[in-house]
Amino acid sequence: MKYSSGGSITVRADKHNDWARLTVQDQGIGIPATAISHLFERFYRVESSGNRPISGMGIGLYVVKEILAQHNGTITVESSEGQGSTFTVLLPLSGS
């Protein structure tokens, strides 16, 4: 929510083949293309743009990725700077 710039956030859940899929989409500040490959690294913080610094320690997405890995799941992101981001979580329904 802190990256959404007060805009709407859409959360969807559905079944995609043998996977549970969760998507979280905002129309917030977006993520620079150069940062996306580092986004799930421990302690990585994207530089704040604009006048409003955003607090955090850079561990949230790292922890999410690690928990999902323990359950054979994945997380990906698509983002355009200034236009928002979509995070997609996939978890196997079969427990494999």
CATH of the domain at 72: 3.30.565.10
Please indicate whether residue 58 or residue 11 has the higher confidence score (pLDDT): 11
**Start-end of H helices in 4-85:** 33-36, 60-70
31-63 pLDDT, tens digit per residue, is 889 999 999 999 888 776 555 566 677 799 999
The pTM of this model reads 0.83
Q: Tabulate helix, strand, coil % of the chain (nearest 5).
A: 15, 35, 50
Taking every pair of Cα atoms in the chain, the longest distance, rounded to a whole number of angstroms, is 46
Q: What is the arithmetic mean of pLDDT over 65-83?
A: 95
> Is residue 41 assigned to a domain?
yes
Query: How many domains in the chain?
Result: 1
Range of the domain at 71: 9-91
Assigned token pair, 8: 């709407």
The predicted structure's pLDDT at residue 89: 98
Under the banding of pLDDT at 50, 70 and 90, the label for residue 28 is confident
Assigned token pair, 61: 């997405």
